[in-house]
Structures are given as structure tokens and as C-alpha cells.
């Protein structure tokens, strides 16, 4: 009984070439006007077109979402700036009122000393 003989590189290369030739012959054997071939091509074309439409819709949706997020961020930034400005103005008013109160107290104390 002989042992297992592993295929050499040239044997594997020859088998691959034969498989390629057979696949090419099968492809060439199909007639382009064969209804099955035409139907498969039309189905592939329809699938391809549907895929392109879905991709375009996804791109549009992503662009719309990005624009919406940018608008939201801009609105939030504007609101934050407005709040900061209002807080700063309120703080300045508070400081002015405190300064005026100290000034009035100083004036009252001076007036009290003069009497």
C-alpha cells in the first residue's frame, strides 16, 4: 500500500488553471440573449440602483442630522453667551448697589459727626 502523496506546487497550479478555464467556458457558454441571463442581469441592475438610492438617502439623512446638530449647538452657545452676559450685568448691578450703599453709609456717618 502506497502512502499519501501530497500534490506539488505545479500540480496545484495546473488544477487551478484548469478550474479557471472551465469557469470561463461555462461563462462563455451562456448566451447573452438567454432569458435567464437577461433576467439575472436586470435583477442585479435593480438591486444596484436600489442600493444607490438607499445610500443617497442615508447621505442626505446624515447631512440633515449634522445640520440640525450644528444649529442646536449654535443655539445653545448663543443661549449660554446671553446667560453669561445677563449674569455679568446682574453682578455689576449688585456691585454698584453695594458701592452706592457704602457711599451712602459713609455720607450718613459724616453727617452724623457734624451734628
pLDDT per residue as tens digits for the range 19-77 = 999 999 988 887 778 888 889 899 999 999 999 999 999 999 999 999 999 999 999 99
Q: Count Cα atoms within 13 angstroms, Cβ side, for 72.
A: 6
Give me the pLDDT at residue 80, please: 97
Q: Which residues contact 66 (CB under 8 A, 6 or more apart)?
A: none
Sign of CA dihedral 38, 41, 43, 46: negative
Residue 12's pLDDT band, with cuts at 50, 70 and 90, is: very high
| pLDDT category of residue 3 using cuts at 50, 70 and 90 | low
pTM: 0.48
pLDDT higher than 80, residue 89: yes
Whether 37 and 31 have beta carbons less than 8 Å apart is answered as yes
What are the domain boundaries of the chain?
A: 31-114
Amino acid at each position: 500500500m502506497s502512502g499519501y502523496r501530497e500534490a506539488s506546487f505545479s500540480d496545484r497550479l495546473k488544477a487551478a488553471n484548469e478550474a479557471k478555464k472551465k469557469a470561463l467556458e461555462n461563462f462563455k457558454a451562456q448566451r447573452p440573449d438567454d432569458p435567464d441571463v437577461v433576467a439575472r442581469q436586470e435583477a442585479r441592475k435593480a438591486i444596484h440602483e436600489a442600493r444607490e438610492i438607499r445610500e443617497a438617502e442615508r447621505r442626505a439623512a446624515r447631512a440633515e442630522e449634522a445640520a440640525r446638530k450644528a444649529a442646536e449647538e449654535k443655539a445653545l452657545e448663543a443661549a449660554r453667551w446671553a446667560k453669561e452676559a445677563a449674569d455679568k450685568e446682574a453682578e455689576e448691578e449688585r456691585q454698584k448697589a453695594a458701592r452706592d450703599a457704602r457711599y451712602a453709609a459713609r455720607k450718613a456717618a459724616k453727617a452724623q459727626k457734624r451734628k
